[in-house]
Amino acid sequence: MTGRRDFLSQPAPENYVAGLGRGATGFTTRSDLGPAREGPSEDQIKEALAKRAAQLGFGDAAAAATGKKDDDDENDERYQDPDNEVGLFAGGVYDKDDDEADRIYREIDEKMDKRRRARREAREKSEQEEYERKNPKIQQQFADLKRGLESVTEDEWAALPEVGDLTGKNRRSKQARQQRFYAVPDSVLAAAGSAGELGSTVADDGVASATGGSSGQDGTMTNFAKIGQARDKVLQVRLDQASQNGNATSGSATSVDPKGYLTSLAKSQLPDSAAQVGDINRVRELLESVIKTNPNNGPGWVAAARLEELAGKIVAARNVIARGCEHCPKNEDVWLESIRLNEGRNAKVIAAQAIQKNNRSVRLWVEAMKLEDDSRSKKRVIRHALDHTPESEALWKEAVNLEEDPDDARLLLAKATELIPLSVDLWLALARLESPENAQKVLNKARKHCPTSHEIWIAAARLQEQLGQGEKVNVMKRAAQVLVKESAMPKREEWITEAEKCEQEGAIITCCAIIRETLGYGLDEDDDRKDTWLDDARGSINRGMYETARAIYAYALRVFPTSKTIWLAAADLERNHGSKEDLWQVLEKAVNAVPRSEVLWMMLAKEKWQAGEIDNARRVLARAFKQNPNNEDIWLAAVKLEAENGQIEQARGLLRTARQEAPTDRVWMKSAAFEWQLDDLDAALDLVQQALNLFPASAKLWMMKGQIYEDLDKPLQAREAYSTGVKAVPKSVPLWLLYSRLEEKLGQLPKARSVLDRARLAVPKSAELWCESVRVERRAQNTKQAESLMERALRDVPKPDQGVLWSEKIWHLTTRPQRKPRALEAIKEVDNDPALLTAVARIFWGERRLEKAQNWFEKALVRDSDLGDSWAWYYKFLLEHGTPEKREEVVSKCIGVEPRHGEVWQAVAKNPRNARKSVEEVLKLVAAELH
């Protein structure tokens, strides 16, 4: 035997490195390197690699080494193993820093997405509209042709040829099919032969019955009375099944709750007449198979027991669930079902057995407590439960609720917070029961144990408010700092919800403090903070939380003190939901913050004037003059104030000064209108002429000149004024309309048509001009031409502006039976145009469908509350079918909105005779004008 090992004579394994196992590698010496020599060339290296790869069987590697690798090899599946990439960090530990990093990255992604969302949605909407415009649907392409079918008469329709295949081949094959014959089966002949025979069989009641399908006492008559009784019984059964309760689980149910099917099965009780024995047997077999295959399946036992209960076999249900308790002693659902199915003492015994098997089940302890009758026994059960499960928050809450003495409840809560220091609800309950001084100590302890709970901080703030130190001690500021440090800061929406909750409970100071310290969290300067806060305030107002909305506006005004939009929104809040003094205070702050805003000055002056403080209103306007010299709005507001209070000469003097200090076309127009209202037409005409010399491009001045001439009964001069005006201002639609109506009133119908044709060339795609052209032909009894013009108008005018055209077509160019289909087509084309919505409401009004009519009128008002005609139609409707309270409500809303537009509304409101009338009086006048 030699000492030489056998493996020494064997060749070394592949990839063997001497000394690697003992760490004797990683260094070289001069003897290892040998004499200096030139290394292998690149070609030699490639050749060696290719040779080695060929030996190992890697053809692709050889091709790569020799420079013959294809471009497609870069996508080889061998180098794209997704698991390998994931597995790089599979063994790592996910710690708090990783969680914070993920949260930061997630917030950055959300912020970037929110920043780009508006532009992306606008771009997508424009692309969608462009695509729909370039690729219209077939229905849209043929819409005008469909409308053209209205003119087809019945004779033309009947004369249309029938579409059919009249080729010779198909005609011959059709004739061959009609001439084909088939042999009649013997069964048909046999049935026909025995059709008139009478059977000789005897029924159970001894009466002969017919085999031919009729049944009766003599075999030849059908007893329809019995058939009707049987049908009534079947219908009654089905009605009983369908009318059990809202969550019926019978076969007539239309929806199934997959999570609560067991509960709904327990609540479902069918009458004996509706018991479907076959279905119950089939389900029983299925459930027996389930519990036999898997006897440890608790839901299977529960379902089997409830099936027996549904079938009315309560004893069998108890036996089934008892077997389930034996097979599933650790399943609390099975025990709870057994307790429910049993009563009285048996239920208590079962509860005791269940608790022995599951002494840490909170639900079983609570159910056992509920089985007791007196409070003392319930307390005893809960205390036993707490001995077994002292860390259960639900059990401590039940124990506290059972205590009638606040001192005992306080002791229980003190012990509970020691055992469960992370329960926020228990800390808050204990603080509510303590005195204010002790409550402060309790909340301080709670903050130490639950530093991430914002509820505890809110409770502390409310406690300071109760102590009268809510304004001095800013608890919420400290709360925001700590929660941000702990990375537990809730979102802005959650803080607003908490503020609204405080407002509901009367903690106004805490509500304002929450908004003040948290509203700006999570919003950068790049975000649309102003719009976001305005949306938050509007949401709170809609929910009736006005103090929260005030706090939001106050915070927004601290960030944007010169924002006129926010000041107007805050003033609107005080006007609608605050007191008069609060509104004055807000407007005073507004005019001091934004002294260059004439809107705020005039709003403050108007509020003072409406409150009867005329002198204070004059002082406000005087201050406005100092801040905004030569502002036409303030000049005109001062004129209106004096004119409304009967100071005619003073108002005229102000207008004279205004024409010198602020000579704008509006000031000149108001000066002429003022004289016109005073019935001094010559002075008004003189002012208009002077104004036109200064402002020849003012359409309103040309209209006033023509209307004054009409009042003076000088139609030729009025025609000349309108004619000159449309040349000076060719884009003014109202000026063209006045010109056309004057020609029509003078009997010059061709001239009126010519004026409207020129107007449509000057102002293309104008719905008002097209509608007036249709009305001219309609008033001239030229219905065919009116319909032709209407079709051209619907093709020329953009769809969003077609509401007035569709309204005209529905009411004046459509027969009564066709109005509703035409209205449906219009809604599909135009959607939410207020004039169209009002027309639809009038259709329902004419059909006496009053509730629907009222809903559509209100839709029109919501869509555009500035349209006075909609208000007038609604008021006219309420005069016939509304209550006095509803009419008063509509009038008050109309006064608050002060509508300024509408075809009839503007004609009545701008009439000089109605200049001094209120909004309510104008509303009643417009309602009387409508027909």
Give the CB-side neighbour count of residue 456, counting CA atoms within 13 A: 27
Q: What is the mean pLDDT of residues 636-645?
A: 81
Q: Cα–Cα distances in Å, from 488 out to 100, 107, 501, 516?
A: 11, 14, 20, 18
Listed range (174-183, 513-522, 575-584, 877-886) with the worst mean pLDDT: 174-183
Cα–chain-centroid distance for residue 734? 39
Contacts of 301 (CB under 8 A, 6+ apart): 291, 320, 321, 323, 324, 327, 328, 334, 337
Is there a contact between 745 and 713 (Cβ–Cβ < 8 Å)?
A: no
How far is 688 from 699, CA to CA, in rounded Å? 12
Q: What is the mean pLDDT of residues 623-646?
A: 81
Contacts of 202 (CB under 8 A, 6+ apart): 208, 209
Tell me: pLDDT of 12 over 80: no
Tell me: pLDDT of 270 over 60: no
- Please tell me the predicted confidence (pLDDT) of residue 92: 61
Tell me: pLDDT of 64 over 50: no
Nearest in space to 669 (alpha carbons), one of 703, 631, 712: 703
Q: What is the mean pLDDT of residues 93-115?
A: 81
Percentage of the chain lying above the pLDDT 90 cut: 19
Q: How confident is the model at residue 790 (pLDDT cuts 50, 70, 90)?
A: very high
Tell me: pLDDT of 260 over 70: no
- Which ranges in 680-780 belong to alpha helices (H)? 681-694, 699-711, 715-728, 733-745, 749-762, 767-779
Tell me: pLDDT of 288 over 60: yes
How far is 658 from 651, CA to CA, in rounded Å? 10
Cβ-count burial of 695 within 10 angstroms (0-12 exposed, 13-18 middle, 19+ buried)? middle
How far is 311 from 317, CA to CA, in rounded Å? 9
Tell me: pLDDT of 792 over 60: yes
How far is 149 from 30, CA to CA, in rounded Å? 105
Tell me: pLDDT of 388 over 90: no
Is there a contact between 211 and 197 (Cβ–Cβ < 8 Å)?
A: yes
- Please tell me the predicted confidence (pLDDT) of residue 262: 45
- Please tell me the predicted confidence (pLDDT) of residue 112: 82
Listed range (163-177, 727-741, 832-846) with the worst mean pLDDT: 163-177
DSSP label of 7: G
Answer yes or no: pTM beyond 0.85.
no
> Higher confidence at residue 241 or residue 596?
596
> Inter-axis angle of helices 919-929 and 868-881, to 10 degrees?
70
- In three state form, how does the secondary structure of 778-815 look? HHCCCHHHHHHHHHHHHHHCCHHHCHHHHHHHHHHCCC
- Please tell me the predicted confidence (pLDDT) of residue 243: 44
- Please tell me the predicted confidence (pLDDT) of residue 661: 80
DSSP label of 911: S
User: What average pLDDT is seen over the chain?
Assistant: 79
Residue 563 CB neighbour total at 10 angstroms: 18
- Please tell me the predicted confidence (pLDDT) of residue 173: 63
- Please tell me the predicted confidence (pLDDT) of residue 152: 80
- Please tell me the predicted confidence (pLDDT) of residue 170: 61
Query: Residues 803-822: pLDDT tens digits?
Result: 899 999 999 998 888 888 88
Q: How confident is the model at residue 15 (pLDDT cuts 50, 70, 90)?
A: low
Token pair belonging to 317? 């249900």
Tell me: pLDDT of 522 over 60: yes
How far is 267 from 886, CA to CA, in rounded Å? 45
How far is 574 from 582, CA to CA, in rounded Å? 6
Nearest in space to 786 (alpha carbons), one of 776, 796, 794: 776
Q: What is the mean pLDDT of residues 632-642?
A: 81
Q: What is the mean pLDDT of residues 413-428?
A: 81
Query: Residues 650-694: pLDDT tens digits?
Result: 888 888 888 888 788 888 888 888 888 888 888 889 999 999 998
The CA angle 233-239-245, to the nearest 5 degrees, is 145
Cα–chain-centroid distance for residue 731? 40
Token pair belonging to 425? 């609800």
- Please tell me the predicted confidence (pLDDT) of residue 418: 82
The dihedral formed by the CA atoms of 125, 129, 134 and 137, expressed in degrees to the nearest 10:
120
Residue 252 CB neighbour total at 10 angstroms: 13
Q: How confident is the model at residue 29 (pLDDT cuts 50, 70, 90)?
A: low
Q: Which residues on adjacent β-strands are paired with residue 901?
A: 867
Tell me: pLDDT of 462 over 90: no
Tell me: pLDDT of 194 over 80: no
Q: What is the mean pLDDT of residues 755-780?
A: 92
